[in-house]
Chain A
Amino acid sequence: MKDEIIRKGMLTAGIIFLVFFCIGPFIWMIVVSLSDSPDFLVRGQYIFTLKNFIDILNIRNLHFLDYLRNSLFVAGLTSIFSATIGAFAAYAISRIDFRGKILILVSVLGLSMFPQISIVGYLYKIMSSIGWINTYNALVFPYIAWTLPLSLWLMLSYFSQIPSEIDRAALVDGANRIQVFSKIIIPIGAPGFLSTVLLLFMASFNEFLFALMLTTDFRARTIPVGIALFEGLHGEIPWGYIMAASLISSIPVILLALFFQRYIIRGLTGGAVKR
């Protein structure tokens, strides 16, 4: 079977390529974060140290822990609210027959075509006029709106897999819509709800442009902005700190990706991937 040998060979090469390509930069991140200086390649001497980690966790002026707390708070709040609001709307669209639902669906998805840059300028004006610049509100509210199209889309694909006979029977038995939604749809759709929350958490944890424009300091600034604007006391780029901070802040999403890959993949593909 010459064909089978070619297939095996290409598959092995493919796996090696994939693993090296995806992990390589992470290894570099770890190596530099554990070094006393980022230029060890040309110096020819690598000195192992935990100083970068100890410093970013202890030097309060670097505000790393502030950024991390802000990020976790904003992303956590956004993902739970957005998934819930998306689930409400998806329930109505998948279960109740009413005119204009196609219009709502198309306009919500159409609005997500607008690049963030064409929203952020005016958003800045709104936030300035109501005094929300550099607060959690300035991020959480736009993030919920920004993630809602994805949330709606994901929840719709899950709810459409739940047979509508189940909740119709409950309605006939005298339950109201809220009861049907909270007692039947949400429990059955729990895995879908979980993968939606995960994807929305990642999206808002990673968001950069809104956070860059709408926050000014450690009181609301998130990890991506903090890491992008990290500067040493003398204007040099503190690579050790940046890599250590990057590593620590990647850990939550790396763990999510590794443990919940099944849910994430299912979420991204609208439930199309089995196995």
Chain B
Amino acid sequence: MNKEIREALLFILPLMLFILFFTLIPVIGTFFVSLYRDVTFLTRKFVFLNNYVRIFRDAQFWKSTLFTLLFTLASVSIEMVVGMIFSLVINERIPLRGMVRGIALLPWAIPSVISARVWQLIYRYDYGIANYIMQHLFGVSVNWLGSYSGAFFSLVLADVWRTTPFVAIILLAGLQTVPETLYKQAKIDGANIFQRFFKITLPSIKPIIIVALLFRTIDALRVFDIIYVITGGGPGGATNSLSLYSYRYFLLGDFGYGSAISIMLFVFAFLISFAYIKLSRLKEIAL
């Protein structure tokens, strides 16, 4: 082995060791555990794909999957639109821009559990401020967390609040790469502000939009914290995300089935990211 490679290995070794012991081994371990009947107080038994067969027959699993996909679809698409608006705002030369950028980061900077607690209080049926506003504007109280659609909407809004700053910052990086001269030329040609946005801005930052979309989709699919706090999976298991559903089995001591569910979540996330990457390439060739 030559000196260069030895030196390189020395620099990389700490990283490899940490990732080996605390990421790679747990991931491989989870896969193997998913092939066992591994329940606390019962003897471990190799059952091969039995846990996966059980998943296919488990109606609650498919309900969780559907909820997770709908949640991801709703929150990611709203986040992209609101994030686009935010990034356009903080990209302009506005007064106190540093301050506004800092404020825009706040919802993302605080722990997700804290934002979840605040939203949980806002949504309270009896004395939450959401119903106070609803009472004064429309004279009705909404059962935000006690009905299926209410809980779905509430979780999506809380997630949008928390993660829009992240989308805005990623898109900001894209906006700053669009050359100023393009806009000047378009103005001379008489394009209005909307035409400039749809004909210049949007096409120019398409690659970064796909990056933001990919990051957010992977992250939204594994949503756990805010649901754990705000609805705890309820009402009646209606908002159990796949992460939460898997966690419940870990909590019960059923590591085999919990692991199998978490492996399925990874498979879904992998397939969706793969599809994104494929589709975005295909479109680029078509253009």
Q: Interface of A with B (CB < 8 Å)? A: 3, 6-7, 10-11, 14-15, 17-19, 21-23, 25-26, 28-29, 32, 38-42, 85-86, 88-89, 91-93, 96-99, 101, 104, 108, 111, 113-126, 141-142, 144-146, 148, 152, 177, 181, 202, 205-206, 208-209, 212-213, 223-225, 227-228, 239, 242-243, 246, 249-250, 253-254, 256-259, 261-262, 264-265, 268-270, 272-275
Shortest distance from the beta carbon of B126 to any chain A beta carbon, whole Å: 7
B15 and A108 contact, CB distance less than 8 A = yes
A121 and B258 contact, CB distance less than 8 A = yes
The tally of residues in B whose CB lies under 8 Å from a CB in A reads 91
Cβ of B104: which chain A residues have Cβ within 8 Å of it?
A: 18, 22
**Interface of B, helix, strand, loop or mixed by DSSP:** helix
- Give me the 7 closest cross-chain CB pairs, A-B, nearest first: A145-B22, A269-B173, A92-B11, A122-B29, A118-B262, A115-B222, A39-B127
Shortest distance from the beta carbon of B214 to any chain A beta carbon, whole Å: 10
A258 and B102 contact, CB distance less than 8 A = yes
Interface string of B88-113 (1 = CB under 8 A from A): 11101010001111111111011111
Shortest distance from the beta carbon of A30 to any chain B beta carbon, whole Å: 10
Are A122 and B19 CB-contacts (below 8 A) given A18-B86, A96-B7, A104-B12?
no
Given contacts A14-B89, A249-B111, A273-B172, 15 further A-B contacts (CB under 8 A): A25-B161, A28-B121, A85-B15, A86-B15, A115-B221, A118-B27, A118-B262, A141-B18, A145-B23, A148-B18, A209-B225, A227-B113, A249-B114, A268-B169, A269-B170
CB-based nearest A residue for B195:
A3
Q: Name the interface residues of B163-205: CB closer than 8 Å to any CB of A.
A: 165-166, 169-170, 172-173, 176-177, 187, 192-193
B126 and A273 contact, CB distance less than 8 A = no
User: In the complex, which of the residues A3, A181, A269 contacts B193, with contact meaning CB atoms closer than 8 Å?
Assistant: A3
B266 and A115 contact, CB distance less than 8 A = yes
**Is the C-beta of B269 less than 8 angstroms from some C-beta in chain A?**
yes
Cβ of A208: which chain B residues have Cβ within 8 Å of it?
A: 111-113, 224-225, 228
Q: Name the interface residues of B111-169: CB closer than 8 Å to any CB of A.
A: 111-119, 121-122, 126-127, 129, 132, 161, 165-166, 169
Q: Which of B45-53, B69-77, B242-250, B277-285 contacts A (4 or more CB under 8 A)?
A: B242-250
